[in-house]
Amino acid sequence: MNAVTEGIDAIATTRVLIREETSDLSGHGSTVERVTRTFSGNGSGMDIVVSSVKAYIGAINKMLGFKDRTVVNSSEERIPISA
C-alpha cells in the first residue's frame, strides 16, 4: 500500500497478490511441472479498506477470467471431429 498524496485527502493505492489453492500440471512432451499461478490486482481510494477491496476484486476477476479461458481451450481440444 502506498499513499499518492498526503494529508486528510490522501489517496491510497493497494496491490494484492492471490494464489490458487490448487496447482495445474503444465508441460510439453515428457516434461510436466506443477504450476501454481499468482494473480495481482490494483486498487485506489481515499479509504484503505476500499482500496484493498478494489485490488482484491481485480485479482479475483483476473483469476476467474484465466480459468474461463483455460476451460474453453481445453473443451475445444476435446471436441471429436468426424469426417
At 34-65, the pLDDT tens digits run 778 899 999 999 999 999 999 999 999 999 99
What is the model's pLDDT at position 72? 61
Mean pLDDT of the chain: 80
**Which whole number is the average pLDDT over 5-34?**
79
**pTM of full prediction above 0.75:** no
Higher pLDDT, residue 49 or 32: 49
Three-class secondary structure of residue 17 per DSSP: strand
What is the model's pLDDT at position 1? 73
Grid cell of 22 as nine digits? 490448487
Rounded-to-integer distance, Cα 3 and Cα 64, Å: 29
Domain ranges of the chain: 2-77
